[in-house]
Each structure stands twice: as C-alpha cells, then as structure tokens.
Structure 1
Amino acid sequence: MDLAAALHPADLTAARHPITVTLGPDRREILAQGRDFLTKVLGDDRAVYGSTTGFGALVGYAGRADLRDQADNTLAHLGAGQGPDLDPALVRATLLVRARSLAQGASGVSPHVVDALIAMLGTTFAPAVPRYGSVGASGDLIPLGAAAQALRGHGYANVDGVRMPAAQALDQAGLTKLPLDGRDALALVNGTSLTTAALSLAVTRTRAAHRAMQDLTCLLADLLGCDPQFLDDRLIRRYAHPGAVTVADGMRATLTGCTPTTKRPLQEPYSIRCSPQLLGAAEDALRYIDGVVDADLAGVSDNPLFFPGDDTVVHGGNFFGQPAAFAADLLTGVEAQIGNLAERQLDLLVDPNRNGGLPPMLAAGPGRQHGLQGVQLASTALIAEIRRDAMPAGMQSLPTNLHNQDVVPFGTQAALRALDQTALLRLLCGSLALGLRQAVHVGARRPTAGGTSALLADLEQIAPVDPDRPLEQDVRTAAAICCDRY
C-alpha cells in the first residue's frame, strides 16, 4: 500500500502480518520540505511547541536546547503506562495509522521516521504497549510513547509473537534503532492513532457479526416456518429508514424460496418480527461510525501543524479524539443490541413453548441429555458482560495535566472497550448458530430457501450434540463459520 493513497479499514486488519508499504518520491519531497521548513522556523527563533518548549502544562518553560535531548525529554516522562500489553496486531495497525498521518507532510517530521515505520511494518515486529494511560486528549501519548521507545530499542517488543527486550527484537527483525529529535518524538506520540486503529478494527468485526445475525435470523425464521411478511418491501419502505431497507433487502434475498408452514402465530415475537428494524438501525449507526473512521484515517492528528507555503506554524487541537469517542460509545450500544438479539433468539429456540414443539434445550433426550443448556447459560453471561460495559466513556471527562487538559474525550477507553466486546459478540453469534444446527437434528424442518440451506450446510460440519459433550470449541467453530464469511 502507498502512504500517499487513502487508508482503509481492511489495511489495518492486514497489518497484523508483515505488509509492504511504500512512500513515493512526490510524498517524500513533501516530507523533506516540511522538515526544511521546521529548520527554518527554529532558525528564525520562533516558538514551536515541543521543540522550543516543555510539554503539556509545562509549555511556558523552555525545553532542552539539544534537540536529541528533547526527544528523551518527550518520551521519558510518558513511560507511565500500566496493565497488560495490547494485542500486537492492534499496535501494528496503530503504527500504520501513525505512518499515514505523518506521511501527509504537515507534521515537520524527519522522512527517516516514516521510513522506519514502513520498515517495521514489513516485519513481524510489534512494540509492547501497555493498555492503560491514555485519555485520548493530547493524542494517545502514553501508549504511543511506549511504541516510540521500542523503536528506539527501549522497553519491550514482540517478534514472531515472542516478547523480548526491544533492542533484541530490533536485531532479530533486522531493524535499526530509530534516532529522534524533539519534533520527531512529539510527532510520533501526539495523535489519536491507537484510538483510530481500535475503532476501525472494532467496527470491521462488528459489521461481520451484524451480517452474520441477518443470516442467522433468516435461518431461524426458515427452520420455524415463519411467514417472511415481516420483510415485505412495501412494509419496510414505509418505515423509511435507509438501514432497514438495506437489511431487509438482503434478508429477503437470503429467504428467497422460503415456504411458511402456516402453523406459526400471525405475528412472531419481536426478536424475529422486528429484526429488520433493529438490524437496520444498527446499519445506520455503523454507517455513521464508518464515516468517522474514514475521516480519522484521512486526517492529520498532531500538534502543531506546519504549512511551508504560508510560512506558518499553527498550534491547535487536532489530537483531540472526540469524534472517535462518540462513535465508539455508539458502537458499544450497537454491539449490545445485536448481542441481545442473538441471545433472545437462542432463548426462543430452546423454549418448547415458542419453538414449534422442539424438545426443551434442543436436547436429543431431555433429562438424559441437556443439549444447549450450558451454551444458553453462557450466552446470558456474555450479553450481561457487554451490557455492563456499555456505559459511555465519552461522558466521563475529567480535568488533568494542571487543567491544561481540562476537557478530555476518553476515546481510547471507548474504542478499546468496543474492540473487546467484538470477541463476546462473535461468541453470541456462534452460540445461536450452534443452536440452529442442533435444532435440525432434534426435529426442526430443513430450510426451504437457498440462502439458508447453504448456511445450514456449512454449520453441519459440526456434529450434532448427541450425546452431550463440552461445547466451547463448537461455539467458536460456529462463530467462525457464520462471521468469517464477511
């Protein structure tokens, strides 16, 4: 991928493995011009935050005179992160986002810094970055500080999935220690690249679960013999929400050929009848979140920014991650409702009073066997976990940094939490999918639509639960079958 081109969420997913990243001569020239302009500005004795000054609340004090010492001054005080390491795949995605921001040439960064990020992304190297420490206001300072230190050979890093001292990891990956001055160091840390990367990965994974739930809902309706009139195009278009129209169009296509049994109630429970409205609202929300991610990936997240053509250095707040904070909080709500739908549909499926007379818990021999009982219990626990964590982070602003950062977005926490919940949402999809596979084994009719028949055929790779067995791996397998299609 070329750093002059637009960055897409799929690129961030790909960055978990070594990737080829390029920087064309035109973009390299823009970087060089920006760097030359910084040299001129400093030669003119102009004030430049982080180059001639201290950091944060200490901006009113002079920084270190030697620019290389200023890099140490930047990074040393940020070595305050705590907690477990972030997923190396997330860290690598973060540094791809950072490389793209810096490559736009507005940060006054040395071209060799972008070259170092490109070289790193071509290997399996991933800095060890602690989870806790960012408030997402002046960028993801502490996490990105740990990443920058690892590129300098300090702290720890991973190579081929093995954690080791960063200097050893650089050697093993064939990389060299990254020299930095004060502007380079600040440019590496003064942006919301971790927040953006986490949100991008989270919405990508949520979209996969969202599409899976459309398919699984169709399979549930077909197995039960429901009348698909709840997807009627005339009905949905009167609802007027574009996401619902899109979702219903896709679900109708999946259910093409479905023949209702005429034995179901006139109106299905809401977990079936209102599914296009619920999943459609999720689609509308996901489109908004996609737009925030696209803007974050296209933008420059740094301070200050340099405009050589105008002979101007502009200080401001382009490191403030409020858009991502709002979007991530919305995403956790979407995840909670999609997960709730999966859990409620599984509850309907195992209940003989609502599932068309299938045995309780879909047990092949109720009493002697227990079928999906354990999976249904675990699903209740999973959705409770997601719902507990759905409290918005963006409303938790706390002043810090001697009230220099007197409002903060907490987008990092919001995005990391949204990414965490995608793993649980995936398991909820897998739990429902396993129940649907089992339902056919214990007496549900085989699907009558082509799309649902194809999905069931894939799920029948999993053996029926007869007799009982531990099902944790089967849930994960079912989740992969229904979610990894997208």
Structure 2
Amino acid sequence: MDLGAPLTAAHLLNAAAPLPVLVGPAVLDRIEQGRAYLRTVLADDERPVYGAKTGFGALVGFAGRPSEADQCDNTLAHLGAGQGPDLPLDIARAALLVRTWSLAQGLSGVSPHVVSALAAMFATTFVPAIPRYGSVGASGDLIPLAYAAQALRGRGHAYLDGVRMPAAEALAAAGLTPLELDGRDALALVNGTSVTTAATALALSSVRASHRASADLTCLLVDVLGADPGFLDPRLITAFGHPGATDVATRMRALLDGAHPSGDRALQEPYSIRCSPQLLGAAEDALRYVDGVVAADLGGVSDNPLFFPDDDLVAHGGNFFGQPAAFAADVLAMVTASLGNLAERQLDLLVDPSRNTGLPPMLAAGPGQQHGLQGVQLATTAFIAEIRRNVLPASTQSLSTNLRNQDVVPFGTQAALRAYDLAELLRLLCGSLALGLRQAVHVGGRRPTAPRCAALLDALADVIAPVDPDRPLDVDVRMAADVVTGQMW
C-alpha cells in the first residue's frame, strides 16, 4: 500500500501477512517539513511542547529529561505495565499500520526514519508482543503501543513467523535494525487510538461477513422448509420505511428467486423467519454507522500535540480520545448479539420436529441411536449466552484516572477488543446453522428450489459430509463458517 493514499479496512485485513508499504517522496517531504518545524519550536525556550520538554500526563507541569534519547525512555519505561495474554497478531499488525499512516501525515513532528522503519517492518512477519490489558483508550492506547515501540527498539518480546521470542532476536532474524527514537518520536508512537481503531475495523469486517451470511442462511432455511417468501414482498418492506431493511430484503429476494412454497407451512412463520428482513435491516443500518466511524478513524490523525508549520501552530488537544470508536464498537457488539440470537433461534426451529415440517428431532439420521445436531445446538446456546453476557456497553463505564487528568475516559479499547472476540462467536453461530441446514436436507428436508439457494447448499455439501453416523462436529462448524462468511459459493 502507498502511505500517500487513503487507508482502508481492506489494508488492515491484508496487514497480517507481509505487506509492501510505500513511503513516497511526497510523504517523506511532509514528514520532513513537520520535523523541521518541531526543531524550530524546540529551539524556542518560550514555547512549551508537551512530551518533548515536559513530563507526561498528570506530570506535565514538571520538566522532562534534558537528553532527547533519555526522554524516549522517560516516555516508554513507565508504560510497561500491561498484563494478560498477547493481543491477536492480526490486531497488533493492523494497529501499527494505522499508527504508521497517521504519522505519515506529517502532523506529528516525527522523524522520517521512524515511518520508513515501520514500513520496512511490514515487509516481514515481525509482530510486537502486546499485552491485552492496560489501555483506557483516553490518551490513546498508551500501554499497548508502548510495548509495540519497545519491541521495535529490540526490547521485550515479538513474534516472527508466528513464533514468540525476544524482540532483539526477532528483529535480527527479520533483517530489521532496532529503532532509534527521541522523546517526540516515542510519544507520537504511543499517543493514538490505533489499537482501538484496528480492533474495531477487524471486528466490523467479520460481523459484516456474518451479517451477509445470516441473510443467505435465512433464505436457505426458508427454501429447505418450504416456507412462503411473501414476507419479503417489496411493497411490504417499502412501507416499513427503513433503508437497511429495503436493501437486505432486495438481496434476500434475489437469493430466493425461483423458490416455490411447499404449502405445508402455517400462514405466518415464526418471527425468526418472518421478521428477519426487519432485524437484519436494522443491523445493516447500525453497521453503516460503524462503517462511517471506522472510515473517519482511518482517515484521521490521532496524536497530541499536532504541528502545523504553515500556521506556526503547535496545537495541544484531545485527538487521542477514542470516544467515536468506543460508541461504534459498542453498537457492533449489540448487532452481534441480535444476529447471534437470530441464528441460534433459527437452528432451534430447524432441529424441533414440531416446527420443522416433520424432520427428525435434532436432525438425527436415527434418533436415539444417533444424535445429529444435539451437541452443536448445546454449543450454540453457550455461544449466545457468552455474547449476551458481554454486551454491556464499555463506553458508558468512564472512570477517572491519572490524578484526574484523565477524568473522563471512553474505554474504546475494551469495547473494540470485546467486539473482535464476539465477532468470532457470531461466525461460529453462522457455521452451526449452516451445518444444520446441510444436515436437514440429508434427513428429509427438501432440496432448495431456488437456484442460488441450491448453490449454497451444494457448496456446504462439497466440504461437509452428512452427519451419519454421529461424529465430532467442531471442525465441521468451522468449515461451514468459512463457506458462508467467505462467500465460497
């Protein structure tokens, strides 16, 4: 990718693997201009610059260390307080790509070699080891990004080719040189919401894939059961008045084109079928809001202070405050819970002989001698319970810290990482429902009459054998999730 072009969520998805990152002449020029301006400001004893001449956070009223190299250590050492398991490697790499793009805008006064070194890192499999817990997302993701900066300096730990080792060893094996930083460089690396933004963006991508899969699987359920798709009538949906529902219903009608109702179902289906376009449409409207927040975060500069040479301005403020992503990630978690609930209820309908048009209980090929989807349904109950338990909004949990300097905090990091975790559970719920639909046809459900629904069933059948006899189904659920969320059909 080119740091002179807009950063997109697709770039973050690609950052987990080696990724060429171009630092073009125009990018270097604006970084150098910002750095030269910083030098001018630092030479003026009358102009305060937070973090370059001062202590940090609540200690801003005290002078920092006189040596620039020492000021780097002054920035990073006290932030080595993270705990818990390491962040997933895709989040760590994506976070550094967000940070690199922000620094490349030339407003942070960072040294050009810092951006060049970060770009070089992306061509390798190097990943800093970053502990999960420690950020409140208020003055940026200070603690996790400090671990990233230290790893780039050869301190702490890192991964190379997925193997955890001392960071100095990983740098050497990757052919990278330990990064040299002064105080401003160090602060610029940590004083942004890049972990929060990256985790929210990756979670959004996963939830969007599951949202599409949920609409597709609902259509397959309708066709396999022989239900009447009249609940998708465009006149009905248009009267509802919500754009998300209109768009989702249009997609579902296209998938069900050619479907023929069996005539064996009741006049009105359960809400998990009949109200699906309204539920999925509301989710679409909410996801569009999250789309906008993520796009703004990826296109913005998250740091403090910012340097504007043309205006001779050093602007001290709060562009490191992750409230937008905190709200967005909380919305994402709520969407995940509703989509997960829909998938779990649809699977419950599918395995129940009183509601599935006479298919055997638990879709077992020989009930009693076999148990079909019984274990899978138990697991889905656990998945949705875990999602529900974690949906409490993080963005409303503000706690004052840092001697009341950070007297309001967004907790965006917690919201984003939670959304990332729940997105994987939603994916597994979609895989569980997909496996159930594949099995339903094996035990007597009709083959879909809509060509596109039949194609989805065939894609599942190509990789998943019928459950006959019983076998462990954990791998099958994951394979089914890959098919439906990856649109491999």
Residue number in structure 1 paired with 2:475: 473
Q: Which runs of 5+ in 1 are unaligned?
A: none
Offset of residue 287 of structure 1: 0.4
**2:2 is matched by which residue type in structure 1?**
D
Residue number in structure 2 paired with 1:24: 24
CA distance in 1, matches of 2:386, 2:486: 23
**2:53 is matched by which residue type in structure 1?**
T
Residue number in structure 2 paired with 1:128: 129
Secondary structure, counterpart of 1:278 in structure 2: helix
**Structure 2 residue 424 is matched with structure 1 residue 423:** yes
**2:481 is matched by which residue type in structure 1?**
A
Secondary structure, counterpart of 1:306 in structure 2: strand
**1:55 is matched by which residue type in structure 2?**
F
Offset of residue 353 of structure 1: 0.4
**Structure 2 residue 319 is matched with structure 1 residue 318:** yes
Write out per-residue CA displacement over residues 240-295 of structure 1, whole angstroms, 9 at most, x where no aligned residue.
11100110000000000000011111110000000000000000000000000000
Residue number in structure 1 paired with 2:33: 33
**1:25 is matched by which residue type in structure 2?**
P
**2:474 is matched by which residue type in structure 1?**
E
CA distance in 2, matches of 1:197, 1:26: 25
Residue number in structure 1 paired with 2:210: 209
Paired-residue identity, % = 72
Residue number in structure 2 paired with 1:7: 7
Offset of residue 411 of structure 1: 0.1
CA distance in 2, matches of 1:248, 1:318: 39
CA distance in 1, matches of 2:79, 2:469: 56
**2:470 is matched by which residue type in structure 1?**
D
Residue number in structure 2 paired with 1:71: 72
Residue number in structure 2 paired with 1:414: 415
Residue number in structure 1 paired with 2:309: 308
CA distance in 2, matches of 1:291, 1:5: 18
Q: What TM-score do the two structures reach when normalised by structure 2?
A: 0.99
Offset of residue 187 of structure 1: 0.1
Q: Which runs of 5+ in 2 are unaligned?
A: none
Write out per-residue CA displacement over residues 341-385 of structure 1, whole angstroms, 9 at most, x where no aligned residue.
000000000000000000110011111111111100110000000
Offset of residue 453 of structure 1: 0.3
**2:390 is matched by which residue type in structure 1?**
D
2:465 aligned to 450, 457, 463, which one? 463
Residue number in structure 2 paired with 1:51: 52
Offset of residue 24 of structure 1: 1.3
Residue number in structure 2 paired with 1:374: 375
Residue number in structure 2 paired with 1:195: 196
Superposed structure 1 runs of 4+ greater than 3 Å apart: none
Secondary structure, counterpart of 1:398 in structure 2: coil
**Structure 2 residue 384 is matched with structure 1 residue 383:** yes
**1:4 is matched by which residue type in structure 2?**
G
Pairing 1:123-272 to 2, within 5 Å after superposition: 123-272=124-273
Pairing 1:321-470 to 2, within 5 Å after superposition: 321-461=322-462, 462-470=464-472
Offset of residue 451 of structure 1: 1.0
Offset of residue 79 of structure 1: 0.4
Secondary structure, counterpart of 1:460 in structure 2: helix
Offset of residue 90 of structure 1: 1.0
CA distance in 1, matches of 2:215, 2:197: 27
Write out per-residue CA displacement over residues 372-427 of structure 1, whole angstroms, 9 at most, x where no aligned residue.
11100110000000000000000110000000000000000000000001111111
Offset of residue 300 of structure 1: 0.3
Pairing 1:66-145 to 2, within 5 Å after superposition: 66-145=67-146
Secondary structure, counterpart of 2:79 in structure 1: coil
Q: CA RMSD in A?
A: 0.6
CA distance in 1, matches of 2:78, 2:17: 31
Secondary structure, counterpart of 2:164 in structure 1: strand
CA distance in 1, matches of 2:274, 2:90: 39
CA distance in 2, matches of 1:232, 1:188: 53
**2:125 is matched by which residue type in structure 1?**
T
**1:467 is matched by which residue type in structure 2?**
P
**1:355 is matched by which residue type in structure 2?**
N
**2:15 is matched by which residue type in structure 1?**
A
CA distance in 1, matches of 2:404, 2:280: 42
**1:220 is matched by which residue type in structure 2?**
L
Secondary structure, counterpart of 1:83 in structure 2: strand
Offset of residue 4 of structure 1: 1.3
CA distance in 1, matches of 2:398, 2:437: 44
**1:431 is matched by which residue type in structure 2?**
S
CA distance in 1, matches of 2:25, 2:4: 10
Secondary structure, counterpart of 1:419 in structure 2: helix
CA distance in 2, matches of 1:186, 1:203: 28
Q: What TM-score do the two structures reach when normalised by structure 1?
A: 0.99
CA distance in 2, matches of 1:170, 1:444: 56
**1:464 is matched by which residue type in structure 2?**
P
Secondary structure, counterpart of 1:5 in structure 2: coil
Residue number in structure 1 paired with 2:487: 485
Write out per-residue CA displacement over residues 177-225 of structure 1, whole angstroms, 9 at most, x where no aligned residue.
0000000000000000000000000000000000001110000000011
CA distance in 1, matches of 2:128, 2:366: 52
CA distance in 1, matches of 2:202, 2:414: 14
Offset of residue 23 of structure 1: 1.4
Secondary structure, counterpart of 1:157 in structure 2: strand
Offset of residue 321 of structure 1: 0.1
